[in-house]
């Protein structure tokens, strides 16, 4: 799914409004009734907040739970006020916050019986990756390739994020790959 410029702009506006509403005195969120059909589909999203270039919150879901419009609003609020890595956003910070949205495709199993096969199968800059082992689970969005461009470092970091050792490997590990449609405030929001 590729959203047009108007749909992307609306999602970014909804993300910012959903945060601003917490501080009071801001317009209500856009109605789902008026939204384009693509924005009413159930989709999984992540919303990332950066404050003056530094990560300030990033929250999302891996499976579709809500409509695209509702999921972006929910994840924006959660990233701003409930990301356990950061204190809740303060009103004075909001003008310096830069919002990015990633809409996830359906995650597909990635069969890799060895770490080497997994590394060969990955597409740097393209694939988001989910790792699962028992109750442990973590994901890296494709944008993480910008800071971890080597596949081995990407996988090691993801394993650590899941609570496993960087070099861990076992038959119980499972991997799923997905792609994202990502855009942010300040992007040239043209179609296509």
- Interval 129-153 mean pLDDT: 96
Task: Write down the mean pLDDT value for the chain.
Answer: 91
C-alpha closest to that of 114 among 59, 165, 161, 152: 152
90-108 confidence digits (pLDDT tens):
999 999 999 999 999 999 9
37, 69 Cβ separation under 8 angstroms? no
Overall average pLDDT of the 61-70 stretch: 94
- What residues contact residue 117 under an 8 Å CB cut-off, 6+ apart? none
Q: Are 127 and 118 in contact (CB under 8 A)?
A: no
- What number of other Cβ atoms are within 10 A of residue 67's Cβ? 17
Contact 74, 43 (CB under 8 A): no
Residue range(s) occupied by CATH 3.30.700.20 in the chain: 5-104
What is the arithmetic mean of pLDDT over 126-154? 96
Asked whether the whole model's pTM tops 0.85, one would answer: yes
Looking at the chain, which residues constitute the CATH 3.30.1490.150 domain(s)? Answer: 108-179
Question: In 10 A of CB 104, how many CB atoms?
Answer: 25
**5-104 — its CATH code?**
3.30.700.20
Cα separation, 78 vs 60, whole angstroms:
8
User: Shortest CA distance to 61 belongs to which of 45, 76, 77, 47?
Assistant: 45
* Domain 108-179 bears CATH identifier 3.40.50.720: no
Q: Give the residues across from 118 on adjacent strands.
A: none
**DSSP reduced 3-state for 119:** helix
- Catalogue the E-assigned strands of 12-60: 45-51, 54-60
């Amino acid at each position: 799914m590729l959203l047009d410029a108007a749909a992307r702009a609306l999602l970014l506006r909804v993300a910012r409004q959903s945060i601003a509403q917490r501080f009071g005195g801001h317009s209500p969120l856009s109605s789902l009734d008026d939204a384009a059909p693509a924005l009413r589909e159930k989709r999984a999203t992540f919303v990332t907040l950066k404050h003056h270039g530094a990560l300030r919150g990033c929250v999302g879901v891996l499976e579709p739970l809500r409509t695209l419009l509702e999921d972006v609003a929910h994840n924006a609020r959660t990233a701003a006020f409930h990301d356990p890595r950061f204190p809740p956003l303060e009103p004075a910070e909001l003008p310096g916050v830069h919002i990015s949205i990633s809409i996830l495709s359906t995650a597909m199993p990635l069969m890799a019986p060895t770490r080497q096969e997994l590394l060969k199968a990955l597409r740097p800059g393209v694939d988001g990756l989910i790792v699962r082992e028992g109750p442990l689970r973590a994901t890296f969005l494709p944008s993480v390739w910008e800071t971890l461009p080597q596949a081995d470092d990407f996988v090691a970091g993801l394993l650590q994020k899941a609570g496993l050792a960087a070099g861990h490997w076992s038959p119980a590990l499972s991997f799923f790959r997905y792609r994202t449609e990502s855009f942010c405030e300040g992007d040239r929001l043209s179609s296509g």
